[in-house]
Chains A and B, each alone.
Chain A
Amino acid sequence: MERRVFLKGLGAAALGVAAPALGSVNVLGNVLRIGLTPVFLDDQAAFLNRWRDYLAFKTGLQVSFVQRSSYREISEQVNAKSLDMAWMCGYPYVMDRDRLKLMAVPLHLGKPEYRSYLIARHDEGEIHGMNDLAGRVFAFSDPNSFSGSLYPRFLLHREGRNYEQFFRRSFYTWSHRKVVEAVAVGLADGGAVAGYVWETLARIRPEITARTRVVSTSPVYGFPPFVARKDVDSAVFTIVQNVFLDMRGDPEGERLLETLNLDGFVAGTPDMFDEIREMARLVDQR
């Protein structure tokens, strides 16, 4: 608690005096650039503007959100130092763990964990598990998504199967939400989706999730975290980290969390993602 108060004071100091100096050192062009990936429902422009303004106000920095069509592009931009921070999946995080610093892990249903859902069409009664999807059409979200790609591939790998032979056809929708849509319209017979996204979508667009059915859920894994480049100024890192960790502390932060369907953020530890790393090693032989 004392540490928080101290950090808050530091935040205030940064807001008042140090911000320009900080920006000139390590934040590119005085703008804090945060990459976003479809690990959440990123197609809500007005909400993103509100969140960005909130972060800018709280950190005293100019904040800009950067969205790209795939996880890979965000990872590459972080590596290329054109992004300072990013909300990315645990899978690319563990792949680039050496260059990244864990900043904040979201809390969903009170825990920094989520699951991968295997979904099918609501009126398709024959599908009870991955094995029933053999020879059918399957929708992945992003090749670099843990819940939407790595985990279902891991399930097949565990059975000694390869997804390219197991399914008649599979495709990527590049977003969890679109996996739900692809299954809902019948384009795919089954799909893998982040449980968090499916649950959130069920709250705001129940007519889409109503046409799908959760066939099975995975055990819990580390929730896609906010990460920063290791070389981002530690003061800036701390300020931003504290803004995330304290989001529950003010009404606007509360409202934003409500929209995100999250309970808050914790600092988290890298070992939360060790299982994902192990899985990636197994499946991708990396």
Chain B
Amino acid sequence: MMRFRDLSFRYKIPLRATLLVLVTAVMLTAANVTREYDQLRTDLFENAESLGQVLAMTLITPMLHDDLWRAYEIISMPVQTESPASLGAETMLVLDSRKRVYTSTRPREHPIQMDLAQLGATYARLAQELDAAKLVSSRAIELPEAREFHLLMPIVFDGVPLGTLVMEYPKSIFQPRFVSIVNRAALITLLVLAILLPISWYWGRRMADPLIQLADCMSRVGDNIPAEAECRLYESRDEIGRAGTQLKLMLGALREKEALEQQIIASERLAAIGRITAGIAHEINNPLGGMLNAISTFKRHGQPEHMTTKTLPLLERGLMQIKETVAALLVEARLQSHPLTAHDLDDIQTLLQPHIVKQRVHLVWRGTLTEPAPLPSTQVRQILLNLLLNAVQAAEAGSEILCDIRREATFLQLRVSNQGQPIARDRLAHLFEPFVGATAEGHGLGLWVTYQLVQQMGGSIDVESSEGVGTVFSVVLPATEPVS
């Protein structure tokens, strides 16, 4: 069972509008009916009184002359001629001075000369009313138990009461009017609803849609935060618009926080790996140095037999390979080198040339250095070369590779991008770890080394890779001009 409060605003708003219209219509109709009732009642009694006065005057002569038939004709005229809708009297009754029936428009029910009190309960009450006070002028009587309103009108001649005219009006006389009022009100209400419902439906949608967008967007926030493009939010300065704007800000902050967290996790992991590899490298380097020294000494001073002479170089080459690998893992910027110049950048282009030709790609080079930058040229060259070689390898034939070098006051930015297949998402998270990018052609230490070098220079390296755009590595190295 669906509860009203669970309904969408799309339906709640039109339903509430309908309810409002109905309540208004009912209240207005009730007010109208009440007013009409009062008005009709006043009209009825006013009409009855003026008619009663005329009749009472006209009845004087027949009553004085005891002309019963004429009296009957006088009272039956208005009863017969008036249509039921025109607030006409239903029954008229003339009483003589002793409150007996003189004549009546319903003679069978009101036999001539019968006492008013004997005609029935209602008439007995009327007789009591007549006894209670001398009737000087007309009196309207509304007995709660009676089906009719009664108007009593004295017939007086020269101060002498001749009798009483009793006029009866059915209480249901107003019913047709009420029915017509209510019918009219219902019709108008239906018309108003017919106009208002589509409008309120439209309003409901207008009001509900931003809320629904907001709710949809918020419900999507879970394990991952929806991108800005995923949430279509209503833009305005009203409350919903403000909530939307606020949500956007919050999502932005959440996204930033998440990115930051991942970056921290990645860099912490890389730092841990760095420490482990450095430790292992040192542990290996010491015995390795000893072993290589021993081999060297043995080759120089010993008299090796034929078999040993064949084996030693094998051993030495193996140990040298270990040393190289360890050296590659243990990136250390111990080497002093000259500051980076435009010449170094040209060298890189020259070095790359054979690979570009082989892969059939175009290299677009933007920016250069106008004066030497205070950065060790060897390391920067290695970074740039590593990134460019990777880019050339990943690029498809005929595509473009962009190298953008920007020298700002406090840093040097290097951007290398290609348009090849983007890097898979799960690989992207571990991209800078050693042996991750291992292929047939390399041992997968290039990016690790690059990362280490950048880290040692206090810089940062970022990668963005997406479908259609390609992969962009961007390196920022702090390079403040020495104050001289």
| Residue from B76, B108, B113 within 8 A of A169 (CB atoms) | B113
* Contacting pair B67 A187 (CB below 8 A): no
The closest CB in chain A to the CB of B76 belongs to A185
Asked if A178 is an interface residue, CB under 8 A from chain B, the answer is yes
| Residue from A137, A174, A178 within 8 A of B112 (CB atoms) | A137
The closest CB in chain A to the CB of B113 belongs to A169
* Contacting pair B68 A186 (CB below 8 A): no
The closest CB in chain B to the CB of A123 belongs to B108
The closest CB in chain B to the CB of A140 belongs to B69
0/1 interface trace, chain B 58-69, chain A, CB 8 Å (1 if under): 000000001111
| Residue from A168, A172, A182 within 8 A of B67 (CB atoms) | A172
* Contacting pair A168 B69 (CB below 8 A): no
Asked if A171 is an interface residue, CB under 8 A from chain B, the answer is yes
Asked if A144 is an interface residue, CB under 8 A from chain B, the answer is no
Q: How many A-B residue pairs have CB under 8 A?
A: 30
Asked if A147 is an interface residue, CB under 8 A from chain B, the answer is no
The smallest beta-carbon distance between A139 and chain B, in angstroms, is: 7
For window 37-85 of B, CB contacts with A under 8 Å fall at: 66-69, 72, 76
0/1 interface trace, chain A 91-121, chain B, CB 8 Å (1 if under): 0000000000000000000000000000000
For window 161-194 of A, CB contacts with B under 8 Å fall at: 168-169, 171-174, 178, 182, 185-187
The smallest beta-carbon distance between B352 and chain A, in angstroms, is: 127
The closest CB in chain A to the CB of B104 belongs to A187
The closest CB in chain B to the CB of A178 belongs to B69
Asked if B103 is an interface residue, CB under 8 A from chain A, the answer is yes
Please tell me the number of chain B residues within 8 Å of chain A, measured between CB atoms.
12
* Contacting pair B69 A172 (CB below 8 A): yes
| Residue from A172, A174, A187 within 8 A of B107 (CB atoms) | A187
Residues of chain B within 8 A of A185, CB atoms compared:
76, 107
Residues of chain B within 8 A of A168, CB atoms compared:
112-113
Interface size class of A (residues with CB under 8 A): 10 to 19
* Contacting pair A182 B69 (CB below 8 A): yes
Q: With A171-B67, A187-B103 known to touch, is A182 a contact of B112 (CB < 8 Å)?
A: no
Instruction: Tell me which of A171, A173, A182 has the highest count of chain B C-beta atoms within 10 A of its own C-beta.
Output: A171
Q: With A168-B113, A169-B113 known to touch, is A174 a contact of B108 (CB < 8 Å)?
A: no
Residues of chain A within 8 A of B107, CB atoms compared:
185-187
* Contacting pair A139 B69 (CB below 8 A): yes
Residues of chain A within 8 A of B69, CB atoms compared:
139, 171-174, 178, 182, 187
The smallest beta-carbon distance between A20 and chain B, in angstroms, is: 43
A168 to B68 Cα, complex, angstroms: 13
Q: With A186-B107, A187-B103, A187-B107 known to touch, is A169 a contact of B72 (CB < 8 Å)?
A: no
A182 to B69 Cα, complex, angstroms: 8
A185 to B111 Cα, complex, angstroms: 12
* Contacting pair B68 A171 (CB below 8 A): yes
A2 to B107 Cα, complex, angstroms: 59
The smallest beta-carbon distance between A153 and chain B, in angstroms, is: 17
A137 to B107 Cα, complex, angstroms: 11
The smallest beta-carbon distance between B59 and chain A, in angstroms, is: 14
Residues of chain B within 8 A of A169, CB atoms compared:
68, 112-113
A137 to B112 Cα, complex, angstroms: 8
A137 to B76 Cα, complex, angstroms: 18
Residues of chain B within 8 A of A187, CB atoms compared:
68-69, 72, 103, 107, 112
The smallest beta-carbon distance between B98 and chain A, in angstroms, is: 13
A174 to B103 Cα, complex, angstroms: 17
The smallest beta-carbon distance between A121 and chain B, in angstroms, is: 9
The smallest beta-carbon distance between B427 and chain A, in angstroms, is: 111
Residues of chain B within 8 A of A186, CB atoms compared:
107-108
List residues of chain A with CB under 8 Å of any chain B CB.
137, 139, 168-169, 171-174, 178, 182, 185-187
> 20 more A-B contacts (CB under 8 A) besides A174-B69, A182-B69, A185-B107?
A137-B112, A168-B112, A168-B113, A169-B112, A171-B66, A171-B67, A171-B68, A171-B69, A172-B67, A172-B69, A173-B69, A182-B72, A185-B76, A186-B107, A186-B108, A187-B68, A187-B69, A187-B72, A187-B107, A187-B112
List residues of chain B with CB under 8 Å of any chain A CB.
66-69, 72, 76, 103, 107-108, 111-113
- A-B pairs, top 5 by smallest CB distance, nearest first, are A171-B68, A186-B108, A187-B107, A173-B69, A186-B107
> Would you mind naming 9 contact pairs between A and B with Cβ atoms under 8 Å apart?
A137-B112, A168-B113, A169-B68, A169-B112, A185-B76, A186-B107, A187-B68, A187-B72, A187-B112
